[in-house]
Structures are given as structure tokens and as C-alpha cells.
Structure 1
Amino acid sequence: TDRVALWRLRQSNPLRKSSGGRKKLDVEEARSLVLIICHLAKDHQELIRRAVALLEQMTQQNSEPHRAALLGDYLDNFNNTYRERMTQEEKVSTDSLKQLALKLLIKLLFYSGAKGHQRLWLALLGKVS
């Protein structure tokens, strides 16, 4: 109900750079974030689907994903955002970030579909992989 409070929930991520204390998420806040993530994924489902199909095509052709404009832009944005916002206690390699970005892209496709919020919630609880 309060956008400012929701915005402040970003501070709950222990890996995020920030000034100030961290607050643990309660169940309702976590559930709300799951619903927002899945709603946004559903809004962008067609773009996500195109990106995953392109990734499959690039993999079959043994070509690097960043050579396709859509995937290259996504990987650059992911890498830049991660490095800008997350703490760098351990140096994360560019290859590791690329693998993480592509893995999350594929998972996001599943969370954008019917009952995606249930899938994500169960994944967060460790009930599914």
C-alpha cells in the first residue's frame, strides 16, 4: 500500500550497497515482492520469451549470446546494475555474472506464466529448484 515502504525494502538485501541498517523481510513483504516480480515479468513476457528463444538459437549455433543485440544489451545492463548496486566483498567474474544473468532470464520466463507467483514462492522456500 505504501510505495515508499516498498522502495525501502531494497535495503533488506544483504548484498546490496547501502548506507544504514538492514531490515529483515517479513512474510507479507516477501509475498508482495514475489507478486510484483511476477506481474512485471508477465508484462514483459513476450520480450523475455524472445530473449530465451534467441539464447537457445545462439547455443545451438555455438555462438556467444552477447553477439545478439537483445541478449548483449540484457547482459550489459545486468552486469552494470549488479556491479553498481551489489557489494564487492568477493570479486565476481564477468563469466559468472553472465551465467547468473542467463539462468535468471530462463527462470523469469517460468515466473511470467500462469501460476508464476506460486512457482517463485515455492522456489524461494526451497520446495522446487
Structure 2
Amino acid sequence: MSDSNSPVDAKPHILNILPDFPIIGQQSAIRIQQKIDLLLLAIEALELGASEQFLATAKQLDLQGIIKNRIVLWRLRCTNPWRRSYLRNSLTLEQAKALVIIASYRAKQLIVPIRNLLLAEQQMRDKGLPLDNHFLLSEYLEQFRSHFRSRMNPRRAKVAVYLGWEDELNELALSLLHQLIFFTGTMGMQRFWISLFDGEVA
């Protein structure tokens, strides 16, 4: 019989919302870690003080045992190999779940600005105008580019492509917005989680 104070029994109940898919293989782990970090980066470009909001959400959802403070959050995000400060660690299943849950909750809180930005994108494209012509869209794209440039390693081939072509980086920023809006709907958190394992889960 397990002790009532064991780590297993202490696992936050909210983690049970997401199924326990195994993270199999280094390439799978890297892809999952990269996608989670980029979506968090998009949220940071949307929301001033996003890091503090991530930590506040972790506390609100009883996830502070996994994400204790800013340093722990930073270390978890540095499992993305595109990062300048890549730590060559892998997320545990619980850590990955916690980050997905936090990202989903923050995205739901930001659903109005996300929708407004996607509407602005469509309007600019319909008119054949540069995306930066729209003030709010320009602000989001500029913030995302700034975060990406300061945190990602330019020696990584794909990062170098994004840094060399601003339009490519803008498209990445917008594609992440489209994913975030998808994850705010019914069962959005679960869809977010399952999307990380596409092609690997029967």
C-alpha cells in the first residue's frame, strides 16, 4: 500500500484531464517541447507580464509543485532545442501536461485579442495590404519577432531561416495564433495535448 504522502498520491488532479500518452524517443520529445515553447512564446507576445501570469495560473491550478518559480519555468522551456540556452533535458509527462494546461488556460483568457488579431489578418489579406499596416497586428508581430530573436539560437538552421526572412517569422507567429484559437474551444486543452502526439497515438 502506498503512503498517503507519496508523490504519486500528491499528483495534482487536474493532470488527469489529459491522457497519459507516452513520450517515446528523443525526436518525439524534442518536437513536443518545441511546440509547447513556441505556443507559450506567442502568448508572451500577446500579454504583457505573461511570465507572471503563467506562474499565477500554475498556483491557481495547484501546479506549483511542478512549476515552482520563474527559474523552473525557464528551465522547462529551455528543453526547446531552438533556444540559446538549450539545456538538453527532456520534459517529464507531468511537466509537459502542466505546461499545456497553463497555456490553454491563458489562451482562453486571451480569446478576445486572439480573435481580433485573426480578424485583422484576414482583413489585411483580403485587401492585399501588408500585415504591418494594422496597428494591433503590427504590435503583436513585432513583439513575437523580438522575443524570438532574443531567445532563439541563430546557429540552428531553421531559426536562421526565420531570422533571415521576416515574412517567414510573421507567418510562424500567425500560425501559432491559429493554433491557440483552436485550443480555446470545447475540449481545446485535450486537442492541444493530442496534437502533440499526432501520428504516434492510435
* Same fold at TM > 0.5: yes
Q: Does 1:9 align with 2:76?
A: yes
Deviation at 1:64, TM superposition (A): 1.3
Aligned pair partner of 1:124 in 196, 199, 202: 196
Aligned pair partner of 2:181 in 104, 109, 112: 109
More deviation, 2-11/106-115: 2-11
Match of 2:90 in 1: 24
Q: Which ranges in structure 2 are unaligned for 5 or more consecutive residues?
A: 1-64
Aligned pair partner of 2:131 in 51, 61, 65: 65
Match of 2:114 in 1: 48
CA distance in 2, matches of 1:73, 1:104: 15
Within 5 Å, give how 1:82-93 maps onto structure 2.
Answer: 82-89=148-155, 90=157, 91=160, 92=162, 93=165
CA distance in 1, matches of 2:197, 2:124: 33
Cα deviation 1:34-78 (Å, max 9, x = unaligned): 101110100111110111111111111111111101100011011
Ranges of 4+ aligned residues in structure 1 off by more than 4 Å: none
TM-score, normalised relative to structure 1:
0.90
Q: Flag the structure with larger Rg.
A: 2
Cα deviation 1:3-34 (Å, max 9, x = unaligned): 22334212211111117x33101111111111
Q: Which ranges in structure 1 are unaligned for 5 or more consecutive residues?
A: none
Taking only aligned residues, the RMSD between alpha carbons, in angstroms, comes to 1.5
Instruction: Give the letter aligned to residue 10 of structure 1.
Output: R
More deviation, 66-75/91-100: 91-100
Aligned length: 126
CA distance in 2, matches of 1:119, 1:41: 13
Match of 2:145 in 1: 79
Greater helix proportion: 1
CA distance in 1, matches of 2:197, 2:136: 32
CA distance in 2, matches of 1:6, 1:63: 38
Determine helix, strand or coil for the equivalent of 2:169.
helix
CA distance in 1, matches of 2:79, 2:146: 21
TM-score, normalised relative to structure 2:
0.59
